[in-house]
Structure 1
């Protein structure tokens, strides 16, 4: 009978069921997206491994099934561009995933996203960097995501150079990833727990839409003979019908979102729609849990409602809410989390089920404490403008309904504050100082041994100097140095550069061309002291015995060599060995040297960094400039935080949508009341302000409570991670500000239907 009321109750019944279905459906869609995230990430990793050459089988000599593949990645305006140069050496050479044939010399296959970018007017520098003719588009199986920028280019000049250009017979990446440390595993558990708890709260609130009208109908049923148990079963059936509609709508919302996922690029992460496949077991759990929760919530809310034949005894003076049992869930949550304090990365693993249960109990405790807090606070309010009095009186009569609307925001903000505190507290453990000095050089370019002759390095230097926005280029060349041609035990380094360049690696009082310096205080002075003796004959160049390299060059360390204190170069390395100017350096070293070019940019020139990257690329496609940065963050930590941001964005959308649906449902419930007030002469601006106050007061109380709970939970999590308890007030304020912004946006969107409802015609009835 309850199901028949839901579907056959006329316009009122359909409206109520549809509102419930939309509210539940939004939550179900987010749950399905969450269950599909692991499969999407696994698919991304699988495609990345399938095209990787890092641990692929290799061959020493060219053959029918060998392929030379060179790493030619680049960056453009902060976005990574995955690039590879290909030279098949036989008819059976392995074709990379996503390609049906190899691009010829001067040709390239591009991803759809890169094709679109190259066609835009803002990619002129990137087109200069990739001067190949587009002949094919990379298929989905060769990309980690639809928004990835990637290309494969053909080359007839590629040659094998160690790990930079390997000769492979297939593609594979079988390297086992390092296991997550306990704190990172804790962060992942907390992100999922804190983001999904508000979703459950929203679903629980959605199944209670239209509760007051439903109870009045149940009173009419009592009048014609139904008993109290029967009315509760009818109410449960009605809620069950609404939840089933929610499951259908949620599946539809998920399919729409899944199809649109390919066009979304959040924080440089994109997924193919086909990869968003929910786990069958988790999807079945959602399908069973949502209807069960709908029935349970309905029966739980009816426990304090007396439905009699002559009406619903709820408008009478109700007993004040008690606080003691509402404190039990958060206290139980703290009790579960407390035994794990002080563990950190070195103190052992965290029990994931215990952590999840503790966090859920703390966050769910907000939903129990908020109705008590709202009731106590609004009971003491009064006086003021008419709009304020209307709002306060409404809150005093139905404080539970007002709190229910805000519960989701309060839970989401509490979880977000706790997570922000934890991320800020442990960020230092996953952010290390690189020692690099971006103020001295923005980029470093290394021409490795064997990839370029001295003439090619000189041409590279010249190209970079001529690039737009370059203020200075400093070149340092390094090679090996030994007291004997075959003495591998006593070796040190020889650094060659102009006086200006040598001042980047040593503290020099004076310097002129022809000078030589013995560096002291480097990362290892032992061999320097054994080798560097003024007037001694040494051997430089190929002192490590490279098979295809030229023999070492004999060279005499000038007797005038002076000692100098080593200084950190822009890369953050304190060099050891000997530093000389060009005229004092050994001649005939050939390719047995490493050239490092440090580039300082003119900050006033736009896109100076991109101009330099283009110049380097045009000189040698296999060279990748390295941007210098003072700090470097763990990629895993950064990816987990990115996941938090993506999930928080989805939850915020759900918060706004669900709150808007809840607001519209409340306005629909009070349609006749609003019409009556307008008929008596109440100004519409007064009623609009009263609606704003009715939302703002519970939200303010909810944010205050969620801030307190979030700070307590964040402090406990920091104690668990063995990190100092520091409150990031900026993050706390930003989370509260986001909650306020959501409420203001929902209120603004609900004003048009409110104005339509405030008409005397709303009093008409049949």
Structure 2
């Protein structure tokens, strides 16, 4: 207790709060702590949202997986089910599920509320938008509606449920399903629509990406913000030591300086996080739609991110105050650890070489190539501040010697201060450099992915080996075949193949205005330079 009856810890918190407003670089540190706390919370929240997105997709994927009816004769309610696939021009494939009521109250997959009529289809909203230019709404028959969000892995999924005009027949590969989801029985993963998680990157890869590009710089910015104006605080801590204070007293005083900006930083994230739990967010550049329901379902992870970020900043504040050491005697002095800084500074060139040249030393396909990239990036971020501080100290010594030799008082004082207390300038420069590193990494990764995609598209255009296989279900008339062939682009070659044991009959497009038909041996068709080549004799004059 103090003389006025106020607990000592409360007085120290009050003193710390007052010192935070009047000390050296007070406003700069206040703003830096708010921003660094905000960035740290958002980095942790991003990792939480990645987990929420994966968990939500897995839950909905499992919920729509059919329960296979092994003995169809015992089924009271069943649906005939056949999973196929289709694609849009120059796009990856998507699932098309053909289904027909079989027995009783035939179950419908999640997201489909009523049975479409024969010859009708229910499509996902994203597929309708993406295929609008290709007439996707008429490709499978009359459009009967759209799939509700509960039946889609994510809002951007392409999926179609089609009820054929002619009912499916309960013969393989058609299967009878009795319900959907693990709550109703043993699910058959081979009958699920979509590509399961085959098209998804493993969660750990995105978590590592967020950890390297978001969390690591955020943690570094916290260190930089905490140490802004450290020289004056070290002197104040030394004064407390001289007056008989202990480490607990110094810790409470340090917490009093940062509690207010840390709380403001945490509170500034609340509107953003609340918005994400209420509104679907489209991730820029990748156009992935993050479902607000998934984030809201895992809101406890966001609360954990808030608490962990606040505690981390407070812990770092206390830890760095203790690392500054205790004063000896009655003279305040610089209490930094030059040996630790020199060790970290000496590791910076090796870290930089590892980040720049390390990945080139391993094969392109090696999985540990990515590990080397991240290890090099983290090493550069952690050692860069010490290296900058050491360079500033050397520059300060050179400036001090020049000022002493030429009789320049300003240069002498500035050089002396920079050589003894290089941290202030080093923290400012390190913050800018770390921001540049983060920006360069984001641009580099975007360029890498964009380059790979551009190379793939260029290869496909140059080789021109794209093949689309179309197989009609049931009987089709000659007029329907001709109508389909008439829609094929001029630069494409259409080959309609029926493959009996001894002979291949092909209906093909020759270099003539009309469609010709011919019978020829299957050996007459060859592939050359990416084109299906038909002997001239196969075309009628």
TM-score range, shorter chain: 0.5 to 0.7
Which deviations, in whole Å up to 9, do the C-alpha atoms of 1:341-376 show, x marking residues without a partner? 869878xx8699999777634541223223334555
2:166 aligned with 1:157: yes
Secondary structure of the corresponding residue to residue 528 of structure 2: coil
User: Using a 3 Å threshold, how does the CA distance of structure 1 residues 27 and 169 change in structure 2: closer, same or farther?
Assistant: same
- After TM superposition, the structure 1 = structure 2 runs for residues 189-208 of structure 1, keeping only pairs within 5 Å, are 190-195=208-213, 196-208=215-227
Residue equivalent to 2:483: 459
- After TM superposition, the structure 1 = structure 2 runs for residues 538-617 of structure 1, keeping only pairs within 5 Å, are 566-568=526-528, 570=530, 581=538
State the distance in 1 between where 2:292 and 2:178 align.
Answer: 32
Q: Does the CA-based 8 Å contact 2:385-2:426 persist in structure 1?
A: no
User: Using a 3 Å threshold, how does the CA distance of structure 1 residues 565 and 274 change in structure 2: closer, same or farther?
Assistant: closer
Question: 1:20 deviation in Å?
Answer: 2.2
Residue equivalent to 2:431: 405
Question: 1:169 deviation in Å?
Answer: 3.7
Q: Does the CA-based 8 Å contact 2:497-2:507 persist in structure 1?
A: no
Secondary structure of the corresponding residue to residue 109 of structure 2: coil
1:271 to 290, 312, 336: 290
1:447 to 471, 483, 498: 471
State the distance in 2 between where 1:417 and 1:472 align.
Answer: 37
Taking structure 2 as the reference length, the TM-score comes to 0.64
User: Using a 3 Å threshold, how does the CA distance of structure 1 residues 255 and 210 change in structure 2: closer, same or farther?
Assistant: farther
Q: Does the CA-based 8 Å contact 2:79-2:107 persist in structure 1?
A: yes
Question: 1:580 deviation in Å?
Answer: 7.5
Secondary structure of the corresponding residue to residue 89 of structure 1: strand
Question: 1:40 deviation in Å?
Answer: 1.4
Residue equivalent to 1:748: none
User: Using a 3 Å threshold, how does the CA distance of structure 1 residues 94 and 3 change in structure 2: closer, same or farther?
Assistant: farther
Structure 1 residues not aligned, in runs of 5+: 383-388, 484-492, 503-511, 520-563, 585-766
State the distance in 2 between where 1:184 and 1:401 align.
Answer: 36
Q: In the comparison of the two structures, how many residue pairs are matched? A: 490
2:388 to 367, 370, 390: 370
User: Using a 3 Å threshold, how does the CA distance of structure 1 residues 154 and 321 change in structure 2: closer, same or farther?
Assistant: closer
Residue equivalent to 1:97: 110
Secondary structure of the corresponding residue to residue 94 of structure 1: coil
Q: Does the CA-based 8 Å contact 1:259-1:273 persist in structure 2?
A: yes
Residue equivalent to 1:527: none
Residue equivalent to 1:67: 80
State the distance in 2 between where 1:156 and 1:319 align.
Answer: 81
Which deviations, in whole Å up to 9, do the C-alpha atoms of 1:494-540 show, x marking residues without a partner? 252457379xxxxxxxxx98784673xxxxxxxxxxxxxxxxxxxxx
State the distance in 2 between where 1:415 and 1:124 align.
Answer: 38
2:316 aligned with 1:296: yes
- After TM superposition, the structure 1 = structure 2 runs for residues 87-236 of structure 1, keeping only pairs within 5 Å, are 87-105=100-118, 111=124, 117=129, 125=135, 132=142, 138-148=147-157, 152=161, 154-160=163-169, 168-171=177-180, 174=189, 190-195=208-213, 196-208=215-227, 218=236, 227=245, 230-231=249-250, 233-236=252-255
User: Using a 3 Å threshold, how does the CA distance of structure 1 residues 168 and 379 change in structure 2: closer, same or farther?
Assistant: farther
Question: 1:471 deviation in Å?
Answer: 2.7
Q: Does the CA-based 8 Å contact 1:60-1:167 persist in structure 2?
A: yes
Secondary structure of the corresponding residue to residue 567 of structure 1: strand
Bigger helix fraction? 2
Secondary structure of the corresponding residue to residue 444 of structure 1: coil
Question: 1:211 deviation in Å?
Answer: 5.3
Q: Between the two structures, name the one with larger relative contact order (CA 8 Å, sep ≥ 6).
A: 1
Question: 1:95 deviation in Å?
Answer: 0.9
State the distance in 2 between where 1:223 and 1:436 align.
Answer: 72
2:44 to 31, 42, 47: 31
Secondary structure of the corresponding residue to residue 153 of structure 2: coil
State the distance in 2 between where 1:514 and 1:223 align.
Answer: 100
Question: 1:192 deviation in Å?
Answer: 4.3
Which deviations, in whole Å up to 9, do the C-alpha atoms of 1:689-740 show, x marking residues without a partner? xxxxxxxxxxxxxxxxxxxxxxxxxxxxxxxxxxxxxxxxxxxxxxxxxxxx
Q: Does the CA-based 8 Å contact 1:66-1:88 persist in structure 2?
A: yes
Cα RMSD for the two superposed structures:
6.1
